Amino acid sequence: MEARSRYKDWLEKLTQVPGDDSCVTEAVGLLNEYRSFLDLEVVFDSDADFLYRQKGQLKLDNTVIEEFLPHLVARKFPQISEKFSIGPHSCFAALYFTSTMGTAIATPGTLVRTKAQDFTISKRLYLRASFDREHATDVDRLEVNLGYLCAECKTNLDKTMFQEACATAHDVKTAVPGARYLLLCEWLDMTPISTVGTDIDEVLILRKARRLGSQIRSTFATRAGRLSRRNDYATYLLAHPFASAVFERFLTHISASLENQNPDEADTLARGYF
């Protein structure tokens, strides 16, 4: 009951954060306060070992960032929510047709492949496809979200997750070349790899720290082990809070996306580039 009360209180406080220069600092402060309670008092101090072992499957902590980002963006960029959807969505990845020469007398069999994204700034897209020029009969009608900024949120980022994100980023940018794709993680669990050769715009490490070593984490699997290392774990969390500066950088990507406009070809020669 206390966890539910703290959750509702956290969401209420986020809606009251001003959209001025203090927005990020205040919002991230609330995030750190709530996650500290969740990580330590709810999960780590639990008498039940399964709560710590299965916290990922139970979605206790790994969805908090996904919930936090829409509030932060809405407070900082209120104009975006008026025209775009903000938050988790399945977004357009590819369009394909299932019809064959033998079945092409009806509809093209149009289908859309989508990919679930943890955070998006997207817009609803409506598609129609038909062999009839006027779209009067035998029409395929589809609805899908088109992602202009997509972000994958990970608690611990390892190399396998990074490679999966590279493939997703490629799909996103093939569908929408002007889109941005960001990979966010709390803790880094791999050797940093340059994103230059990938379609990922940037990897953001929200706590600016590496994951605790496996030799330490292994002691957390039991109640006795957690009790013996609680002060160490609490000190580690306190030393590596969510960094406001990294969330500021996340917001600069959104700001830059808002500034992108289709170039005016008539001015090409005057500019000297295109």
Whole-prediction pTM: 0.90
| Residue 241 contacts residue 205 (beta carbons within 8 Å) | no
Which 8-state DSSP code applies to residue 112? E
Asked if residue 61 belongs to a domain, the reply is yes
Asked if residue 268 belongs to a domain, the reply is no
Asked if residue 223 belongs to a domain, the reply is yes
Asked if residue 269 belongs to a domain, the reply is no
Residue pointed to by tokens 């791999």: 190
The 10 Å CB-count burial string (b at 16+, else e) for 170-180 is ebbbebbeebb
Cα–Cα distance for residue pair 107/141, rounded to 1 Å: 10
| Residue 49 contacts residue 97 (beta carbons within 8 Å) | no
pLDDT at 263 over 60: no
Q: What are phi and psi of 76, to 5 degrees?
A: -80, -35
Cα–Cα distance for residue pair 119/121, rounded to 1 Å: 7
Supply the DSSP string of 172-237, one letter for each residue. Answer: HHHH-TT-EEEEEEEEE-S----STTSS--EEEEEEEEEPPPHHHHGGGGSHHHHHHTHHHHHHHH
Mean pLDDT of the chain: 92
Asked if residue 200 belongs to a domain, the reply is yes
Asked if residue 227 belongs to a domain, the reply is yes
The pLDDT score that the predictor gives to residue 267 is 67
Number of structural domains the chain divides into: 1
Closest CA to 145 of 87, 72, 202: 87
The pLDDT score that the predictor gives to residue 265 is 64
Asked if residue 271 belongs to a domain, the reply is no
Cα–Cα distance for residue pair 108/125, rounded to 1 Å: 19
Going 134 to 137 to 138 to 144, the CA torsion angle's sign is: positive
Supply the DSSP string of 2-59, one letter for each residue. Answer: HHHHHHHHHHHHHHTS-SSTTHHHHHHHHHHHHHHIIIIIIIIT-S-HHHHHTTTTTT
For residue 147, give the H/E element and its range.
strand 139-157
Cα–Cα distance for residue pair 257/201, rounded to 1 Å: 12
In tens, the pLDDT along 109-164 reads 999 999 999 999 999 999 999 999 999 999 999 999 999 999 999 999 999 999 99
Asked if residue 72 belongs to a domain, the reply is yes
CB neighbours of 9 closer than 8 A, spacing ≥ 6?
A: none
In tens, the pLDDT along 189-226 reads 999 999 999 999 999 999 999 999 999 999 999 999 99
In tens, the pLDDT along 61-118 reads 889 999 999 999 999 999 998 899 999 999 999 999 999 988 777 899 999 999 999 9
Cα–Cα distance for residue pair 128/184, rounded to 1 Å: 35
Q: Domain limits at 121? A: 2-260
In tens, the pLDDT along 22-62 reads 999 999 999 999 999 999 999 999 988 888 888 877 777 88
